[in-house]
Amino acid sequence: MSFVVAIEGTVTNSTINKIGGGPATVPNWPGNGARFKGAFSYTPSSTPNPNLFPKIFIDFDSFTVTRTSGAGSVSLVNGGAGIVYADSLSTGFTNISLPAGGWELQELTLTFASPQGFGVANPASLAFDLFTVRTISIGGDNGTSASAVAWNILARIDVVIALPD
């Protein structure tokens, strides 16, 4: 059985800079305190692998981040010893709201930390309501030209609801 995990939260740290330079201006970039919503599909499995989370959608109002099926990187940490898999370049993710120009998401990490004493995460039986600290970290750039920018968003997930898919 698959589950849709709905999330809602607040941007805690948001930056966008010119490559090798100071701050850049991008209209409607989500700033600190901005609200967001999103969802991801979770299919339990006996062993961790990227296909446990085939679809991720995060909406920052003017900026939407998606993950295509079976590509990219995800981290899910329960007490620091849970599910972690990563690539150096997460080309399976796309940001569909940034200005045109070769944008590539370089990392997307979902971090869940469980209350003390719950032990190591079992990917076949995760209980999302038992996690107390939840964050999303997103970063990327659009190349190395003088007009390129590097961006990073750190967001706190305030609400998590898991429903059967």
Mean pLDDT in order along the chain per 10 residues (165 residues):
92 90 86 95 82 86 80 63 59 70 76 73 80 86 76 92 84
C-alpha span between 76 and 127 (Å, rounded): 12
pTM: 0.82
Question: What is the domain count for the chain?
Answer: 1
- Residue 87: give the domain boundaries: 3-164
Q: What is the pLDDT of residue 85?
A: 61
Beta bridge partners of 8: 37, 159
The two tokens of residue 85 are 């898999």
